[in-house]
Amino acid sequence: MRRNKVEQALPYGVVKDIAVPVEPEDERYWVPDGHGLFMRPLMINPTNGDRVALVKVKRNGIVSRHRHPGPVHGYVLKGEWYYLEHDWVARPGMYVYEPPGDIHTLVVPEHVEEMVSLFHTFGAVIYLDENGKTVDYDDVHTVIEVCRKHYDKVGIGADYVDTLIR
């Protein structure tokens, strides 16, 4: 049932809301990030430097060792994963909070075919080698660039990213 749409003027400085349909059968919306996982961006905020995305991993083993200068909130939807540095396993329905500065190594167990989690990341993801040296990073600006290139390449169009920016 469709409700009647009521137009309202937004207060000064308030951005328009966003409602992103997630089409799991269309793999083109999943952007490979170059670190062994795929992301389905849902919201990107260049002003605050945060983003919300679904993250999918279709392989087992170590995915990445990384840290964040800002907090990360996560919610597991499918499969399971854990960090080598912690004693818990993230399973469907579990909420995870990652404090700023925490270094962790994401691992998907052997018996898991696919893991999907929702993450709200504030700031960059800094990828580290086994000695803790920075080897790469991503932030909202690199995510926008990677997504534009991917969506253009797969026929969705680079401007699709603009619908996710808030």
Q: Domain of 82: which CATH number? A: 2.60.120.10
pLDDT (tens digit per residue) in 28-87: 999 998 667 899 999 999 999 999 999 999 988 889 899 999 999 999 999 999 999 999
Q: Does residue 109 register a pLDDT over 90?
A: yes
Cβ-contact 124, 72 below 8 angstroms: no
Cβ-contact 160, 9 below 8 angstroms: no
Q: Which domain holds residue 63?
A: 27-164
pLDDT of residue 4: 65
Instruction: Please indicate, yes or no, if residue 104 is contained in any of the structural domains.
Output: yes
Instruction: Please indicate, yes or no, if residue 34 is contained in any of the structural domains.
Output: yes
Instruction: Please indicate, yes or no, if residue 89 is contained in any of the structural domains.
Output: yes
pLDDT higher for 13 or 32? Answer: 32
Q: What is the mean pLDDT of the chain?
A: 90
Could you give the number of structural domains in the chain? 1
Instruction: Please indicate, yes or no, if residue 87 is contained in any of the structural domains.
Output: yes
Closest alpha carbon to 52 in 10, 93, 22: 22
Instruction: Please indicate, yes or no, if residue 11 is contained in any of the structural domains.
Output: no
Instruction: Please indicate, yes or no, if residue 49 is contained in any of the structural domains.
Output: yes
